[in-house]
Structure 1
Amino acid sequence: MKYSLIALPFIALQFGAQAQEKLPFTLAGDIKGLPNRYVYLAYAESGKEYRTDSVLSKNGQFTFSGKLVQPVEGRIYVDKKTAMYGEGDMASFFMEAAPMKLKSSTGRLKDAKLTGSKAQLDQDQLDAARAPIMKKLQPLSDAFNKLNKEYITAIKAKKSEAALEAYKTKLDKIKDQMEPYYEEMEKTDKAFLTEHPNSYVSAQLLRFRIGNMPLQEGEAFYAKMSPEMQQSASGLEIKQELDALRAGSPGSPAHDFTKTDIEGKTISLADFKGKYVMLDFWASWCGPCRKGNPHLKELYGKYSSKGFEIIGVSDDDSKPEAWKKAVNEDGIGIWRHVLRGLDWSKREKNLPNPEDLSDYYGIHSLPTKILIDPNGVIIGRYGGGGEDDEAMNKKLAELFGA
């Protein structure tokens, strides 16, 4: 099953509220051939503190120092502009409170090897297991990134809809080719999680993977972690994620909400009591979501007269015009549509965003569909952290008849 992730892989980790001792670290760099210039190091220091340091490299030599509560992923780079987009010469590694060395003989940070960190040894092992898959995936990833840049340029140049559609078709084709390798990578990652339940690398990996796992699988991985690891930055976030997934999984009462729909009318989940309701979490920019719309229309046409309703919940809060255009193009205005309620200004400041429906249902990848029974209880989750569309089709056939 294909998903479009709506979470970022590199995030500032949050630590627990309990007081923890900060211990010193040093990171000595020896990047032979690196021009004299500033080098930047970014990492989560503690609590909500995300730190970025800079030092001047001379003849490839530089030293960072600071304090850490626990091992964290750090990112080192030389160009702040490209680093924002994950591009340019940069490297990521696991730092810990110890004397560490970063060495490269090519003049590039991306080729550097970190020593002195036990956590990084685990990351090296994971990277080695992933390497054969990455070798096959890289050409496709490069082709996708190149084509995607051309697509963005075409949008800015206001190319015709036909030209833009041609780009999207090509991008979707590359995505389809990449999918088997992503599935293989997922198996490799889960094998690592099984073998290393008490690694900080595993904790961060599980934090990234948890949103697409069935609830029971995520709970099983979490249960194998030691109390120390469960209280780590990633461990605490995993707990929060599991709680959110549980709230959006079968057996839990569906969060009631009231929104203004695409036509400016008020809509509440409570209005649909007595019917089966499918919440379809999607977005105009999500290829797999748009591809699945014809099938949703088929299901709606088949079961709507038997008490089946759909409410589309779109992740297009920043671009409502794109949302409305997609609804019209795909012909899905036959059911009700609302925006999820994401406020990026609050999210960036780590402030509560009570209007965001995705938080109440544990949605971190698209498409995800939540099936609710006439009494307001969730009886199905399909997509991120749930079953596949085949299971959804079977469930609806059982409820309404083939």
Structure 2
Amino acid sequence: MRIILLFIIALSVSTTCVKKNECEFSLQGKTVGLSNGTVLYLTAKESDKIIDSVVVENNSFSLATDITSYPLNVILKNNDNSLYKSFWLDNARMEFNASENDFANAVIIGSYTQTLYANLYESIDTLSRKDQEKVLIDFIKTNTDHILGAVVLSECYILWKKEKTEPLYLKLSNQNKKSIYGEKILRYINLNKNPKIGDSLIDFELTNQYGRTTKLSELKGKLILLEFWASWCAPCRTDNKKLRVIYHKFNPLGFEIFQVSLDDNKKKWSSAIEQDKLDWTNVSDLRGWNNEAAIIYGVSLLPSNFLISSDGIIIGQNLREENLEQKLEELLLADPIEKKKSSK
């Protein structure tokens, strides 16, 4: 019943502009504690393109600009991102009220899409993961024609994996399939292979921090740890210190690390490599969780890894610290007969 009521409330907001072009988009804003002359930028979230800007005076601002496509996911922010709020625009008269809350928790009024989206995630906030998934799947099935059906699926496919994602994608309207969110989902479906222990490595090529394109298969013939990480992942950074010790111990014996970063900022990625003193192959396409290799290998958590034998077979997954070192000792320090046994 609660879910139904949420959608009824959202629907009532959508009646603000009944006919196309009956009213144009506008945004009236109220803030607190901002200096006169503070500049706010309205940007498209997916492209980071600036749509418009406005100057705050007396903790108020007003925006009225032509938007070519609705609904549109946007960010309102200042120059250094210390003020930042993401929300959905509709072709309506909207309000942005941060007079009683901090900027990031501003209340958005007048957008059917924003209300629908916010109510959805508010409704699942206290549910178990299983119940959350059910509500989200039902939402997608109910909103195959609305952009939020594609948006929610694009936010969940990494956790839901291909077997749950593909049938839901096929239910989306053709318009949603052609949207940037639909294209993102289809890319995942086409790339994802989800290899398991016993499967052959799946090759890919990405660029290292110096701009050189490198393939995983270039290390074939070595014992390879394919490691997924990111500069913003604290457990990954801790693991890097331990990996350095393991790498220098086993590298002379034929062990290599091929590390894939899920960063989207080259400066932060390169800086982390330098800080952690990583002297093995490091690559990225700077697409965050949409990283090609991460999608191919079905990575949904960081850190994650795959241990690949010298003949290109996956022989271990998510081996950490002592387990990784023990496995490497079995493979690289044991006598030939024992090596053959441990690689099976």
Change (3 A) 1:238 1:105: closer
**Alpha-carbon distance, 1:338 to partner:** 0.6
CA contact (8 A) 2:41 2:51 kept: yes
Alignment of 1:370 with 2:306, yes or no, is yes
Match of 1:73 in 2: 73
Match of 1:129 in 2: 123
Match of 1:114 in 2: 108
The aligned amino acid for 1:233 is: I
Change (3 A) 1:215 1:340: same
CA contact (8 A) 1:25 1:68 kept: no
Cα distance in 2 for residues equivalent to 1:271 and 1:309: 13
CA contact (8 A) 2:222 2:256 kept: no
Cα distance in 2 for residues equivalent to 1:43 and 1:259: 29
- Identify which of structures 1 and 2 has the higher relative contact order when contacts are C-alpha pairs closer than 8 Å and 6+ apart: 1
**Alpha-carbon distance, 1:283 to partner:** 5.4
**Alpha-carbon distance, 1:26 to partner:** 0.9
**Alpha-carbon distance, 1:117 to partner:** 2.5
Cα distance in 1 for residues equivalent to 2:110 and 2:184: 27
Cα distance in 2 for residues equivalent to 1:34 and 1:322: 35
The aligned amino acid for 1:226 is: S
Match of 1:359 in 2: 292
Match of 1:338 in 2: 281
CA contact (8 A) 1:278 1:310 kept: yes
CA contact (8 A) 1:253 1:376 kept: yes
Match of 1:400 in 2: 342
Change (3 A) 1:296 1:64: same
Q: How does 1:51-62 map to 2 (within 5 A)?
A: 51-56=50-55, 60=60, 62=62
Cα distance in 1 for residues equivalent to 2:259 and 2:200: 19
**Alpha-carbon distance, 1:209 to partner:** 3.9
Cα distance in 1 for residues equivalent to 2:342 and 2:31: 68
**Partner residue of 1:94 out of 84, 88, 93:** 88
CA contact (8 A) 1:45 1:51 kept: no
Alignment of 1:245 with 2:192, yes or no, is yes
**CA deviation vs aligned residue, 1:43-67 (integer Å, no higher than 9, x gap):** 3399x58233123456636232222
CA contact (8 A) 1:25 1:99 kept: yes
How many residues get paired?
Answer: 289
Change (3 A) 1:260 1:270: same
Alignment of 1:196 with 2:139, yes or no, is yes
**Alpha-carbon distance, 1:195 to partner:** 2.1
Match of 2:4 in 1: none
SS of the residue corresponding to residue 66 of structure 2 reads: strand
Change (3 A) 1:284 1:103: closer
**Alpha-carbon distance, 1:191 to partner:** 3.9
The aligned amino acid for 2:42 is: A
Match of 1:255 in 2: 203
**CA deviation vs aligned residue, 1:219-274 (integer Å, no higher than 9, x gap):** 3443443333222222212222333433x64568622659999xxxxx97546546
Q: How does 1:383-394 map to 2 (within 5 A)?
A: none
Q: How does 1:1-400 map to 2 (within 5 A)?
A: 25-29=24-28, 31=30, 37=37, 40-44=40-44, 50-56=49-55, 60=60, 62-77=62-77, 80-82=78-80, 84=81, 87-88=82-83, 90-96=84-90, 98-102=91-95, 104=97, 106=99, 109-110=103-104, 112-129=106-123, 190-197=133-140, 198=143, 199-246=146-193, 249-250=195-196, 254-255=202-203, 269-270=216-217, 273=220, 277-282=224-229, 286-292=233-239, 309-313=255-259, 315=261, 318=267, 323=273, 326=276, 337-340=280-283, 359-362=292-295, 366-372=302-308, 376=312, 400=342
Cα distance in 2 for residues equivalent to 1:110 and 1:321: 28
Over aligned residue pairs, what C-alpha RMSD do you find? Answer: 5.2
Match of 1:156 in 2: none
Higher-Rg member (1/2): 2
**Alpha-carbon distance, 1:102 to partner:** 0.8
Cα distance in 2 for residues equivalent to 1:222 and 1:321: 38
CA contact (8 A) 1:39 1:76 kept: no
Cα distance in 1 for residues equivalent to 2:231 and 2:44: 33
**Alpha-carbon distance, 1:194 to partner:** 0.9
**Alpha-carbon distance, 1:340 to partner:** 0.9
CA contact (8 A) 2:52 2:65 kept: no
Change (3 A) 1:286 1:49: closer
Match of 2:5 in 1: none
Change (3 A) 1:290 1:105: closer
Match of 1:177 in 2: none
Gaps of 5+ in 2: 1-19, 331-340
Cα distance in 1 for residues equivalent to 2:316 and 2:43: 39
Match of 2:333 in 1: none
CA contact (8 A) 1:193 1:221 kept: no
Gaps of 5+ in 1: 1-21, 134-183, 262-266, 348-357, 383-387
**Alpha-carbon distance, 1:28 to partner:** 3.4
Change (3 A) 1:376 1:312: closer
* Percent of pairs with identical residues: 21
Cα distance in 2 for residues equivalent to 1:118 and 1:57: 26
The aligned amino acid for 1:121 is: T
